[in-house]
């Protein structure tokens, strides 16, 4: 039975790759600063350049030509004359190569529902974004998901102050799936999905995203507060957080009642940034530790284990280089992340399951990615490679640490700075796709093809 449960985890992983929460540039900020999206983004959104990182570190408070409403009387008022909003949507077609007939559902009945194995056309995101300046040193960024009824997906309110040639910030935050990295992360190397250049198969391009896909739903909800210090030479941040969002959802859960509880998990992040051979470069480290209880009660993961309290433990290193090669812009990223095993069994009920690894072995991944602007500012080619150990037993064997590798190629074409077509093809290999896995319910194959049209206005 263990290897059948492993397949369910495999399906969750591939589904997470196709449907993980995705993030893009917010045209609301372009309106506020009076500049095109390319002022903050390298090649195309959502990858940040140095100016974009500085804008983020400043708490989204910079205003360009837009009119302000200000007073000089204490405590003062300084806000844009209009509330800057943006609407982001994605039209998507996804096809996986698993069987379309002859399988059974989890309860033994014939499987009649259509899946990505049949090919699915959908609009996967309808989101209203808002962001900008609240005061001289206070900003905000928020997302409201509109599909299936309006619900708050993410919000943060940075307080940023000039200190010693840098920015010192405090950020209260909540997110339904982006983890504690949502508190403050200006790099674009996979440490968070928000700025990863390929938004379709996140786990093929970023090691940290592969770990976040372990919790059954492909996302880590979080809320808490972070403190950061940023300069043009690097940054460091620390957050106290809990594995719960304002909507009260734990890993893999739908939003429920309002969230609550104590931020007993920790998250530390540090990175160096600078110039290496005329490439805008960075290398960083991140780690999560501690345990966290969800306010919305127990959750049953893809292995049938029930937990209301989770370990929140992983470590990762990552790096990026952004620069021109023969007149063409190149983005190169690399990352490695690892998460200790969960304590599977009777002790799992309280604090045994690691939200970043629901397997019995160490989960780890090494990823590299590259994007070349073959037509600068218009068209790119992408490549992602993953070499991973899933932390799960090998299907059909019940022991070992099943390998889960991937190679992904993509191409993008920008119809406008805020409208982009994206084609991604991913091929998966390793123990997680062996003959035993292929014969089990819910198998979604070892390839995924996706065509997306992203629009933000």
Per-residue pLDDT of the chain in tens (457 residues, 90 and over written 9): 444 444 433 443 333 333 334 444 467 788 888 888 788 888 888 889 998 999 999 999 888 877 888 887 778 888 888 888 888 888 999 999 988 865 555 555 555 567 888 899 988 777 888 888 999 899 999 988 877 666 778 899 999 999 999 999 999 999 888 899 999 999 999 998 888 999 889 999 999 999 988 755 567 888 899 999 999 999 999 999 988 755 545 554 444 444 556 788 999 999 999 999 999 999 999 999 998 876 555 445 445 555 567 889 999 999 999 999 999 999 999 999 999 998 765 444 455 788 898 888 999 999 999 999 999 989 999 999 999 999 999 999 989 999 999 999 999 999 988 899 999 999 999 999 999 999 888 788 999 999 999 988 8
Integer Cα distance of 331 and 410 in angstroms: 14
Integer Cα distance of 5 and 393 in angstroms: 10
Contact of 71 with 114, CB cutoff 8 Å: no
Integer Cα distance of 86 and 94 in angstroms: 26
The gap between the terminal CA atoms of the chain, to the nearest Å, is 49
DSSP string, 325-343: ETTEEEEEEEEEEEEPPP-
Q: Give how far Cα 439 sits from Cα of 13, 53, 116, 429, 433, Å.
A: 17, 47, 17, 16, 10
Query: Among residues 203, 199, 222, 204, which one has the least CA distance to residue 212?
Result: 203
Question: Residue 396's domain is classified under what CATH number?
Answer: 2.40.160.10
Integer Cα distance of 409 and 385 in angstroms: 9
Q: Residue 235: CB partners within 8 Å, gap ≥ 6?
A: 57, 184, 186, 228, 229, 269, 270, 271, 273
Q: Is 192 helix (H, G, I), strand (E, B) or coil?
A: coil
Q: How many residues does the chain have?
A: 457
Contact of 184 with 343, CB cutoff 8 Å: no
Contact of 444 with 98, CB cutoff 8 Å: yes
Q: Give bridge partners of residue 279 from the DSSP assignment.
A: 276
| Domain boundaries, position 133 | 2-456
Q: Residue 307: CB partners within 8 Å, gap ≥ 6?
A: 298, 299, 301, 348, 349, 350, 351, 352, 353
Contact of 76 with 136, CB cutoff 8 Å: yes
Instruction: Determine how many CB atoms are found less than 10 A away from the CB of residue 359.
Output: 22
pLDDT at 245: 58
pLDDT at 234: 97
Q: Two tokens at 124?
A: 């996967």
pLDDT at 254: 43
Number of domains in the chain: 1
């Amino acid at each position: 039975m263990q290897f059948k449960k492993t397949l369910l985890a495999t399906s969750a992983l591939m589904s997470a790759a196709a449907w993980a929460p995705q993030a893009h540039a917010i045209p609301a900020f372009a309106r506020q600063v009076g500049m095109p999206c390319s002022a903050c983004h390298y090649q195309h959104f959502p990858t940040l350049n140095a100016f974009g990182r500085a804008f983020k570190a400043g708490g989204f408070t910079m205003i360009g030509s837009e009119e302000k409403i200000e007073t000089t009387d204490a405590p003062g008022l300084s806000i844009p004359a209009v509330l800057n909003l943006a609407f982001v949507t994605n039209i998507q077609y996804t096809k996986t190569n698993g069987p379309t007939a002859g399988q059974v559902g989890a309860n033994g009945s014939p499987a009649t529902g259509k899946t990505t194995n049949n090919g699915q056309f959908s609009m996967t995101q309808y989101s209203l974004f808002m962001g900008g300046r609240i005061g001289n040193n206070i900003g905000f960024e928020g997302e409201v998901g509109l599909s299936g009824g309006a619900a708050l997906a993410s919000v943060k309110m940075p307080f940023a102050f000039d200190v010693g040639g840098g920015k010192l910030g405090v950020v209260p935050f909540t997110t339904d799936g982006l983890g504690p990295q949502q508190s403050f992360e200006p790099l674009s190397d996979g440490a968070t999905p928000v700025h990863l250049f390929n938004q379709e198969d996140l786990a093929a391009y970023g090691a940290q995203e592969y770990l976040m896909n372990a919790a059954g739903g492909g996302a880590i909800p979080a809320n808490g507060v972070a403190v950061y210090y940023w300069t043009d030479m690097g940054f460091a941040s620390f957050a106290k957080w809990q594995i719960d969002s304002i909507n009260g959802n734990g890993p893999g859960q739908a939003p429920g009642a309002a969230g609550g509880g104590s931020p007993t998990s920790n998250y530390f992040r540090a990175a160096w940034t600078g110039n290496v051979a005329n490439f805008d470069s960075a290398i960083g480290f991140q780690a999560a530790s501690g345990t966290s209880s969800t306010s919305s009660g127990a959750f049953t993961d893809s292995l049938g284990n029930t937990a209301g309290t989770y370990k929140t433990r992983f470590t990762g290193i990552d790096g990026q280089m952004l620069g021109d090669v023969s007149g063409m812009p190149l983005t190169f990223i690399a990352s490695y992340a690892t998460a200790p095993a969960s304590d599977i069994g009777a002790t799992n009920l309280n604090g045994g399951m690691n939200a970043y690894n629901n397997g019995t072995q160490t989960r780890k991944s090494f990823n590299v990615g590259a994007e070349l602007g073959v037509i600068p500012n218009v068209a790119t080619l992408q490549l992602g490679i993953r070499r991973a150990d899933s932390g799960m037993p090998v299907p059909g064997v019940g022991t070992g640490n099943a390998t889960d590798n991937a190679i992904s190629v993509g191409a993008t074409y920008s119809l406008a700075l805020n409208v982009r077509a994206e084609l991604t093809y991913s091929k998966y290999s390793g123990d997680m796709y062996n003959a035993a896995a292929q014969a089990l319910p819910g198998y979604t194959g070892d390839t995924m093809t996706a065509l997306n049209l992203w629009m933000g206005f």
